[in-house]
C-alpha cells in the first residue's frame, strides 16, 4: 500500500519525547515513506511555566535547525525531509508568537498550529488526560460544554489568523475525557471551524496518535473527517510521533478508512506547494 509522508514528529528536544532527529528520519526511510517532517514544539515560554517543559528552550533552536538542515542534506537521496515547528495558539499572546517566530520562518517548510492550553477564568487548563477538572467545570450544563465551545472558538481564531499551514489534532480537547451535554451546540461550533477552513489556505492533519491512547480514536473523529472529505478540505497524515517507532503509526488502516469514505488524495506540504498525491 502507498504510504504518504509523516508530517508530525517530536524528538528528545521536546523534553516529553524520545529519540534523536536522525532516528526519526531513518525509521521513515525503513518504512518507505517519501517524506518526513521534523516538527518540534516551538518554545512555550509565552505560556505559563507549567507548559515550558513540553518544548525546546529558546536557546536550543539554533542547534535544532542546524541539525535538521544537515540531516536533510545527508539523506536527500533517500527521503525528503521537511523542517517545521508545532506552534501553540493562544489569542492574548498570538502577536508575540508571530514576532518570536519571524527570524526562523525562512528556515521552515511549514507550521503546525495547535492548542495545548485553554483559558478558563483564572485557569490555563492543560489539555491532558491527567488534568482533573475543577468542580465548577464538571457540573452539567455549566462548565463542560462552555469549555468545549471555548476550545472550538479558539480553534476558529487559529484558522482565521492565516499564520499556520497545518491544523494539528483538531479535536484534541477530547483528551479531557468528558462528553458534551448538548452535542448539537458543540457540533455547531465545529462546523464554524470547518466553514473557516474552506476559505483558508490551511490543510488539516489526520493525526493517528489518538489510536495509541485511551481515546482509541483518530484526531479528528470520524464524523469530522467525513465532513472534511465532503467539503474537499485538504488533508495530511501525521503520527505525532514521540518515539521513532511511532513514525507512520497506523497509517495503513487510516488510509483504508479515508479511501473508503471517498478521499482520493492527500497533500504534500511545504511553504511553497500544496501538491496532491493520489491514494492508489
Q: What is the pLDDT of residues 111-163, one digit of tens each?
A: 999 999 887 777 778 888 777 766 666 655 556 888 899 999 999 999 999 99
Give mean pLDDT, residues 230-244: 97
Residue 54 vs residue 263, higher pLDDT: 263
User: Cell numbers of 82, please?
Assistant: 521537511
Q: Which of 7-16, 205-214, 230-239, 270-279 shows the lowest mean pLDDT across its residues?
A: 270-279
Q: What's the number of domains the chain is made of?
A: 1
58 touches 43 (CB < 8 A)? yes
Q: What is the distance in angstroms between the CA of the first residue and the CA of the last residue of the chain?
A: 8
Helix (H, G, I), strand (E, B) or coil at 195: helix
pLDDT of residue 139: 57
Range of the domain at 176: 12-278
pLDDT of residue 98: 95
User: Cell numbers of 70, please?
Assistant: 544537515
pLDDT of residue 227: 98
- For 54-108, what is each residue's pLDDT tens digit? 899 999 999 999 999 999 999 999 999 999 999 999 988 999 999 999 999 999 9
* pLDDT confidence tier of residue 272, bands split at 50, 70 and 90: low
Residue 3 forms part of a structural domain = no
Of the candidates 189, 131, 129, 181, the residue with the CA atom closest to the CA atom of residue 159:
189
Residue 5 forms part of a structural domain = no
Rounded CA-CA distance 206/185 in Å is 23
Residues 6 or more apart whose Cβ sits within 8 Å of residue 175: 127, 128, 129, 213, 215
Give mean pLDDT, residues 258-273: 86
Residue 1 forms part of a structural domain = no
Rounded CA-CA distance 119/136 in Å is 14
CA quadruple 230, 234, 240, 246: dihedral positive or negative?
Answer: positive
Q: What angle do CA 117, 119, 121 make, to 5 degrees?
A: 150
Residues 6 or more apart whose Cβ sits within 8 Å of residue 14: 40, 41, 54, 55, 56, 242
Rounded CA-CA distance 105/180 in Å is 38
Rounded CA-CA distance 121/141 in Å is 17
Residue 67 forms part of a structural domain = yes
pLDDT of residue 145: 86
Dihedral angle computed from the Cα positions of residues 254, 258, 259 and 265, in that order, rounded to the nearest 10 degrees: -100
Residue 2 forms part of a structural domain = no
User: Cell numbers of 232, please?
Assistant: 474537499
- For 152-199, what is each residue's pLDDT tens digit? 999 999 999 999 999 999 999 998 887 888 899 999 999 999 999 999
Residue 230 forms part of a structural domain = yes
pLDDT of residue 138: 62
Residue 4 forms part of a structural domain = no
Give mean pLDDT, residues 204-233: 96
Q: What is the CATH classification number for the domain harbouring 69? A: 3.20.20.140
Residue 200 forms part of a structural domain = yes
pLDDT of residue 268: 87
Rounded CA-CA distance 38/84 in Å is 6
pLDDT of residue 15: 83
CA quadruple 178, 41, 250, 208: dihedral positive or negative?
Answer: positive
pLDDT at 3 over 90: no
Residue 130 vs residue 220, higher pLDDT: 220
Amino acid at each position: 500500500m502507498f504510504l504518504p509522508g509523516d508530517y508530525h514528529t517530536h524528538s528528545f528536544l521536546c523534553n516529553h519525547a524520545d529519540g534523536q532527529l536522525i532516528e526519526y528520519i531513518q525509521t521513515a526511510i525503513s518504512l518507505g515513506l517519501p517524506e518526513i517532517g521534523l516538527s518540534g514544539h516551538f518554545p512555550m515560554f509565552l505560556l505559563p511555566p507549567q507548559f515550558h517543559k513540553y518544548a525546546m528552550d529558546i536557546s536550543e533552536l539554533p542547534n535544532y535547525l542546524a541539525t535538521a538542515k544537515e540531516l536533510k542534506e545527508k539523506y536527500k537521496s533517500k527521503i525528503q525531509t521537511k523542517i517545521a515547528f508545532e506552534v501553540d495558539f493562544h489569542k492574548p499572546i498570538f502577536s508575540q508568537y508571530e514576532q518570536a517566530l519571524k527570524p526562523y520562518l525562512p528556515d521552515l517548510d511549514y507550521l503546525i498550529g495547535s492548542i495545548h492550553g485553554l483559558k478558563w477564568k483564572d485557569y490555563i487548563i492543560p489539555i491532558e488526560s491527567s488534568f482533573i477538572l475543577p468542580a465548577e467545570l464538571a457540573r452539567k450544563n455549566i462548565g463542560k460544554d462552555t469549555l468545549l465551545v471555548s476550545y472550538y472558538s479558539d480553534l476558529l481564531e487559529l484558522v482565521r489568523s492565516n499564520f499556520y499551514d497545518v491544523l494539528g489534532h483538531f479535536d484534541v480537547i477530547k483528551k479531557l475525557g468528558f462528553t458534551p451535554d448538548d452535542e448539537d451546540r458543540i457540533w455547531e461550533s465545529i462546523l464554524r471551524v470547518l466553514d473557516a477552513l474552506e476559505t483558508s489556505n490551511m490543510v488539516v492533519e489526520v493525526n493517528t496518535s489518538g489510536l495509541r491512547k485511551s481515546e482509541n480514536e483518530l484526531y479528528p473523529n470520524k464524523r469530522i473527517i467525513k465532513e472534511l472529505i465532503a467539503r474537499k478540505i485538504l488533508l495530511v497524515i501525521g503520527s505525532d510521533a514521540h518515539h521513532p517507532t511511532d513514525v507512520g503509526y497506523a497509517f495503513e488502516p487510516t488510509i483504508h478508512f479515508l479511501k473508503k469514505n471517498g478521499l482520493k488524495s492527500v497533500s504534500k506540504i511545504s511553504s511553497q506547494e500544496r501538491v496532491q498525491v493520489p491514494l492508489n
